[in-house]
Amino acid sequence: MDEKILRLEAKDITKSFYIDVLRDESALQGVIRFLKRKTEKKKLAVIKNISLNAYSNEVIGIIGKNGSGKSTLLRVLAEVYKADSGYIKTHGRVVYMSGFSQGLNPRLTMRENIYLMGSVLGLSQKAIRQKFNDIVEFSELGDFVDTPVYKFSSGMVVRLGFSVTIHCLNHNYPEIMLLDEVLEAGGDIGFIKKAIDKMEELIKRGATVIIASHDMENIMKYCNRVILIDSGKIIMDGKPEKVIEQYMNGFK
């Protein structure tokens, strides 16, 4: 059995946001407050003292109800958001993905977006040229290469974004992948299956993968560890079947 390599360490991480709150006040007071553009702010802790370690070859599912803190946790781990407290240490290149339209410019053509998004994901112009035909073929959008992306349907945008992303990751492979709801990104059933198969190839190459998802079927299929969070705290961390069962039963 291959030795596990520690890829990600998180210790006591907390993340809060300030939100606007309504106060008990008269209609006149409300109008005055609106005119003065003053709002009362409340600090809301979305992630609360979470600690976790992730190792090579681990595929970790993050599950929980809407608003439980799944996406915030991934964004903090990816350092898209800065934690208020605690520390995060990563060993290797980190890629964070939320859906597959990130990085696309709707005013540019599909061709131009492939070069733009490929560059953002770390490929040279030469590497993008070498992979260009494979990206187009996989997307099944060959008739629209010189069409502006704003004319694409949402499903076509997903196809393009996924195709560029997956081919770039195969070329410039990260040690840590943080996937935020990407398994629910959309598209027709045939393309979704093809996309998941391609993602499975990537997972099997040994990266550390953390997936936030509501799709329990795919969490069960791909993950060898699942973390259940609620109200910003880890409720359970263990084998997929046990954690998913607890979640489906209302984790009482």
Residue 47: per-residue pLDDT: 94
Whether 61 and 219 have beta carbons less than 8 Å apart is answered as yes
Classify residue 38: in a domain, yes or no.
no
Does some domain include residue 7?
Answer: no
Does residue 31 carry a pLDDT above 60? no
pLDDT, position 1: 45
Within-domain flag for 9: no
Does some domain include residue 5?
Answer: no
3-state helix, strand, coil split of the chain in percent (to 5) is 40, 30, 30
- In a domain, residue 103? The reply is yes
- % residues pLDDT > 70 (the chain): 86
Residue 50 lies in a domain: no
Nearest Cα to Cα of residue 86 among 15, 141, 140: 15
The three-class DSSP label of residue 124 is: coil
- The tokens describing 252, both together, are 């009482």
Residue ranges with strand state E in the chain: 6-21, 40-55, 59-63, 85-90, 94-98, 176-180, 208-212, 225-230, 233-238
pLDDT for position 159: 86
Q: What is the pLDDT of residues 172-227, one digit of tens each?
A: 778 898 988 775 555 566 777 777 777 777 777 778 999 998 889 889 988 999 99
User: Which residue is associated with the tokens 């991480």?
Assistant: 13
Contact at 8 Å (CB) between 243 and 107? no
Most confident of 39-43, 94-98, 176-180, 225-229: 225-229
Taking alpha carbons only, the member of 208, 218, 240, 243 closest to residue 229 is: 243
pLDDT score at 9: 97
**134 within a domain of the structure (yes/no):** yes
Domain count, the chain: 1
Residue 94 forms part of a structural domain = yes
Q: Which domain holds residue 99?
A: 55-248
pLDDT band at residue 100 using 50, 70 and 90 as cut-offs: low
**Residue 182 belongs to domain with CATH number:** 3.40.50.300
